[in-house]
A and B are shown apart, each in its own frame.
Chain A
Amino acid sequence: MPDGQPISAPILSADGISKSFGSVPVLFSVSMNIRAGEVHALIGENGAGKSTLMKILSGFLQPTSGHIRVDGTTTELPGNGQSEGLGIVLIHQELNLAEQMTVEENVFLGRELLSRGILDRTTMRAMVAGYLNDIGLDISPDDRISDLSIAQKQMVEIVKAMSRDARVLIMDEPTAVLTEAETELFFAQVRRLKARGTAIVFVSHKLTEVSAISDQVTVLRDGQWIGTHAAKDVTPDSMAQMMVGRELSDFYPPMNEVDVDADHVLEVRDLVAPGVHNVSFDLRRGEILGFSGLIGAGRTAVFEAICGLTPRAHGIINFDGSPAQFGSVAEARDAGVVYLTKDRKEKGLLLGQKMRPNLSLFALPKFVKGLSVDRKAEDAALERAIRRFDIRARDPSVKVGDLSGGNQQKLLLAKVMECDPRVLIIDEPTRGIDVGTKQQIYHFIAAIAAEGVSVIVVSSEMPEIIGLCHRVVVMREGEITGVVTGDHINETEIVRYAAGLKREHQQ
């Protein structure tokens, strides 16, 4: 192993692990050593086998060949989360919390403390309060999970792991839905756990974070072990190259200059809605306009209000120079303004259905001939979409929930594009998808804009905002704090506006 560090014995190691599902091999002789007090990042594109490896490391799956060693002894890990008894805890990407129960009840779920046969709530509450205090989380043990933010829920999962005396904590994309501030808080916690000697394995698509927090980085590609490096020896760029296996020179598409005299397709003045205060902005034809800011800054709320998803209290919207007040999503769609949600699993796609009904759902009136839905037209549209957006499915009858995240996102983009929009609003275009697909999505967006469609990209990922957009609007606490253009689009500038350190006083 090219470690270059004083080597302590690994607590948990994978030794030549291979795994096949049926006849499909997904991991080929992968090895990985996890040491106490070390943060070990596991990176790779979607489908590279990261999730499978994590499940094998935590006993949820058994390897087809190869061994798992715990403290140097070959062990067959017990399945179904029983490995927690050995101190190995996996935190799933979809958090595993009972929404209607309290923090305390969740932390002790399944191993409640009893005193004379009844729940010992006092002790449990005190213990949870202690953990929360340790972690610096400002919630009460009595809070209901459903009332917490995603970041707080994530912390509750960590508290749960702490309460189980986890020696190895394996986390699947813990930062995917966190804002930068929340990520910082989360990392502070990870460092604290690390100092206590916990080994941490985490998967992330955010390579700058990987550089920031990890000690070791293991790269997988197509089920193969590509390498394990000390994090200080690799840059985000070199990591991306190892993941993809090729140069990522044209990661972002070349930027077409926007005609500064192009008409304003959309003008928003003094928009007031829940979570939105006096937002005004313009959008030109063919422009890619970024919306940046911390999560909860009100970006999504702005566009849900514009598209008629949430009620507007006040404000003027001009579409194509004439006033437009979209009372419903259907009205916005008919005018040519569509919103692509950031929550593709809950709000974007019908996971239990096939691709065809999903693709045509948004633009269904277009597919109605006479009284009935024209299935031939639907099939033709699906064929087109698969070609245009490079959607890879084993066959068209596969359920959408069985597609990979990247293919789901492409299908979702195809679905809104079926409406032939003039204004396309994309909320978090690349959440939870791999580097290769991200690059494709960026090129799709650029191509759509080049056709004359105006695109609004709402994103919490700074690099994509910077790499993709002609202009960037920065929001903070429901207000626009600044607009950056051209050469001024850089991380520091955006962060200063997003954090409230700088503010424009025009508009």
Chain B
Amino acid sequence: MTETTMSTAKPSILRGFDLKTAGPAIALLILCVIGFLLNPAFLSEGNITNLLTRSAFIGIIAVGATFVITAGGIDLSVGSMAAVIAGVMIIVMNSAVDTFGTGVTTVLIGCGCSIILGLGAGLVNGFLTTKGKIEAFIVTLGTMGIYRSLVTYFADGGTLSLNYDIRGVYRPVYYDSFFGLPIPVWVFIIVSIAGWFLMNRTAFGRYCTAIGSNESVAKYSAIKVDRVKTLTYVIQGLCVSLATIIYVPRLGSASSSTGVLWELEAIAAVIIGGTVLKGGYGRIGGTILGALILTTIGNILNFTDMISNYLNGTMQGLIIIVAVWLQRGDWGRSKSAD
């Protein structure tokens, strides 16, 4: 029996290695070539910068989602969470104008508020799943609904707009560059590096993987399972708040349609990147590539009129399904092998 498993294990490791590490990179490369062939302007500096900036929101959120998913959880609430944080940020900043004026202080107050809300929302999701022992899917489905309705309520069904003067002060956070790269891209890079380090080099990352692989083994190995799982949701919340901080100056408003389907895109980026949905194996590098792939698809569709831009979601959906099919890794292997 041992011999059977031994003999089949080898090739599956090799194949898994190829697909899971190189696959997303190859896919992104192919997409870039297609983009360039369809329209050489695809590779222009302006478009690349634009593409990276747009990837930043989903990318940052997806880095957080990688931790949650690796530890065997799921967070469906991120899109609504971003919307409600954006809404509250705007309300707080608008009302701070009277006391603190329209300067940097007010913007900092808004950002601080965003981070506190993000951490708090993550903590709520984490506590409900661990201490409350409710399925993460149900908890975050619930909070998703709550946050979405809250933002609609705050905006009274319409749009919350940021005070015009603050908008001027806050604007550079989205639109300005630093050493040739837009600030959102820098945030994305920093979050990615921190996430990669946390996942691959620290005990915490190891604990996430262990919990996602087998929670009982983790528990018997002296890992504080509840604490680690809660922390993954807190990290997710922090990532959402960072993404919101760089998102708000883009439009200077929030409404019930802010951040719609971001949870889907974030989870898709994670899965396309090779992280296993049921937990136990997480790749931050893959997640970043996944986020880039998703944005690139949208970008290419914008560039060409071959496929309607309205079919962006269709393309993304197809990519997700194909990615997961490739991830299974046992296609083509004859049945008799096992």
Contacts and interface: CB of A to CB of B under 8 A. Distances in A.
B220 A350 contact: no
15 contacts: A21-B7, A24-B6, A328-B222, A328-B224, A329-B220, A332-B222, A341-B220, A348-B217, A350-B214, A357-B206, A362-B221, A368-B202, A373-B201, A402-B2, A402-B6
A352 interface: yes
Given A362-B222, A402-B2, A402-B6, A372 B217 contact: no
Contact of B201 (A309, A365, A371): A371
Interface in B1-55: 1-7, 9, 13
A183 B4 CA distance: 30
Given A22-B7, A352-B213, A402-B9, A373 B220 contact: no
A274 to B, nearest CB: 16
A309 B219 contact: yes
Contacts of A350: 210, 213-214, 217, 280
Interface in A253-284: none
B2 A353 contact: no
A467 B176 CA distance: 76
Interface in B184-234: 197, 201-203, 206-207, 209-210, 213-214, 216-224
A398 B5 CA distance: 11
A403 B3 CA distance: 9
A26 B3 contact: yes
Interface of A: 21-22, 24, 26, 46-47, 51-52, 55, 309, 328-330, 332-333, 339, 341, 343, 346-353, 357, 361-362, 364-365, 367-368, 371-373, 394, 397-399, 401-404, 415
A332 B222 CA distance: 8
Contacts of A341: 220
Nearest to B198: A371
A399 B5 CA distance: 10
Contacts, number: 101
A365 B203 contact: yes
Shortest 9 CB-CB contacts between residues of A and residues of B: A372-B201, A51-B1, A329-B222, A330-B222, A347-B216, A362-B221, A350-B213, A333-B222, A361-B221
Interface of B: 1-7, 9, 13, 197, 201-203, 206-207, 209-210, 213-214, 216-224, 280-281
A28 to B, nearest CB: 13
A52 B209 CA distance: 33
Given A51-B1, A364-B203, A402-B6, A352 B222 contact: no
A52 B1 contact: yes
Contact of B206 (A47, A328, A371, A373): A373
Given A328-B222, A361-B210, 20 more contacts: A21-B3, A47-B2, A52-B3, A329-B220, A341-B220, A343-B216, A346-B216, A347-B220, A351-B213, A352-B213, A352-B281, A353-B213, A361-B217, A364-B207, A371-B201, A372-B202, A373-B203, A398-B9, A399-B9, A401-B5
Classify the interface of chain B: helix, strand, loop or mixed.
helix
B217 A347 contact: yes
B218 to A, nearest CB: 8
A448 B207 CA distance: 28
A368 B203 contact: yes
Given A371-B202, A373-B206, A402 B217 contact: no
A349 B217 CA distance: 6
Given A401-B5, A402-B5, A357 B220 contact: no
A357 B2 contact: no
Contacts of A364: 203, 206-207
